[in-house]
Amino acid sequence: MNLFSTNIAYAATPELDKFIRNVDRLIINPIITLLFAIAVVYFLYGVFQFLWASASEEKKTNGKSHMLWGIIGITIMMSVWAILGIVMRTIGVTGINPQQGTVELR
């Protein structure tokens, strides 16, 4: 008997598995997709603002700022995605497919 660690009983139920899959599929994946779309739209807004504001230096600077923050947002999200993939492969996590948004719970 080990007195310095707690014994934890894990109970997996089909209802909990279904709930976690539904949260992933219906809440988390759409939020991630929405954030990517917002970052791309923000970047494109900056591009259009930069191109159509040839006379105003202030609008050009504002467009450059939008493009920069859009690229930073996309880069951060892609970096998190890549780090997650590296960690999953390193520790041998199986049953998770981020591209399809599916999770196999065992």
Work out whether the CA dihedral 17, 86, 42, 99 comes out positive or negative.
Answer: negative
3-state SS, residue 56: coil
Beta bridge partners of 96: 103
- Structure tokens, 96: 């998770």
pLDDT per residue as tens digits for the range 54-97: 788 998 999 999 999 999 999 998 898 888 778 877 887 777 77
- Of 40, 94, 48, 99, nearest to 72 by C-alpha is 40
pTM value is 0.65
Domain range summary for the chain, segments of one domain joined by +? 15-95
- Whether the per-residue pLDDT at 3 is higher than 60: the answer is no
